[in-house]
Amino acid sequence: MRIALFSDIHANLPAFEALLADLDKRQADAVYCLGDLVGYNVWPNEVIAQIRKRGIATLAGNHDLKPKKIITTPQSLTEPGKSHAYHLIDDENRKYLAALPAHIRLEFNPPGGPLNMVLAHGSTRSVDEYVLEDLDEDYVLEMMEEANADILCVGHSHKPYHRVITTSNQKSKHVINIGSAGKPKDGNPDACYVILTLNEASTVLDKNSIEAAFIRVPYDVEKAAAAIEKSPLPDEFADRLRRAY
């Protein structure tokens, strides 16, 4: 089974459209989004429309929760600042974002024994927590144990990696950060997503039986950056897109 995972689109429609076009060619069996559809750019409604049109199962990211606390007025739509990205979201899409789940759990039963996969935006403990590649091993294992997760897929940091931790009983725990579809921070501006491959040989006893392929997709970064510079959003957001930091 080939599972496509992406996260942190952040209203970057050119990047998302390029990612979807690439994804369509790869014919994944399932597609999941780990949140942060909005923020930092000017196309939140268009991004949400694509997600809903395709029926992609989606989590709530920390930025997706912000519109609940923001009141939009005609004046606020023209005021400069970071909040402009949330004022652009229409009422129907605000309701959609507010209803998104915090986690998705998937259970697989290959011949080698059950595999439990948990999808979260930040971590299983908090939507705002960063599960970075060098996070303390014991802490990560404790968190995965309480979530009953053999495979933990997260976003939020915008920095992709696949980390395998071997437990005391020689089982492999996989932590996969999906990276960012629309706002990478790893020095590579290309959109990022993951194809996770599981099959009948996949097992926690063989770390190589679970494969995560990181796909990078070039897109028109300048179009996305120029849209920011023409809007009331801070110009620094455009610079961060270009430099991917």
191-242 pLDDT, tens digit per residue, is 999 999 999 999 999 999 999 999 999 999 999 999 999 999 999 999 999 9
pLDDT at residue 74, rounded to an integer: 87
89-129 pLDDT, tens digit per residue, is 999 999 999 999 999 999 999 999 999 999 999 999 999 99
Residues with Cβ within 8 Å of 24's Cβ and at least 6 positions away in sequence, in order, are none
Check residue 8 and give left, alpha or beta (phi > 0: left; psi -120 to 50: alpha). Answer: left
The CATH code of the domain at 2-243 is 3.60.21.10
CA distance 191 to 180: 6
Does the pLDDT value for residue 157 go beyond 90? yes
Residue 37: which of 52, 25, 21 has the closest Cα?
Answer: 52
pLDDT at residue 193, rounded to an integer: 98
Residue 180: which of 149, 221, 148 has the closest Cα?
Answer: 221
- Tell me, what amino acid is at 95? K
Q: Are 91 and 244 in contact (CB under 8 A)?
A: no
Residue with tokens 């996770």: 196
Cα(first)–Cα(last) distance of the chain, in Å?
Answer: 33
| Residue 60 DSSP code | P
For the chain, the farthest-separated pair of C-alpha atoms sits apart, in whole angstroms, at 60
126-154 pLDDT, tens digit per residue, is 999 999 999 999 999 999 999 999 999 99
Residues with Cβ within 8 Å of 148's Cβ and at least 6 positions away in sequence, in order, are 116, 118
Chain centroid to Cα 235, Å, comes to 24
Name the phi and psi angles at 214, rounded to 5.
Answer: -90, 120
Residue with tokens 């971590």: 123
pTM value is 0.96
Break the chain into its structural domains and give their ranges: 2-243
Helices and strands, counts by H and E, the chain: 7, 10
CA distances in angstroms from 90 to 37, 107, 192, 193, listed in the order given: 14, 35, 27, 27
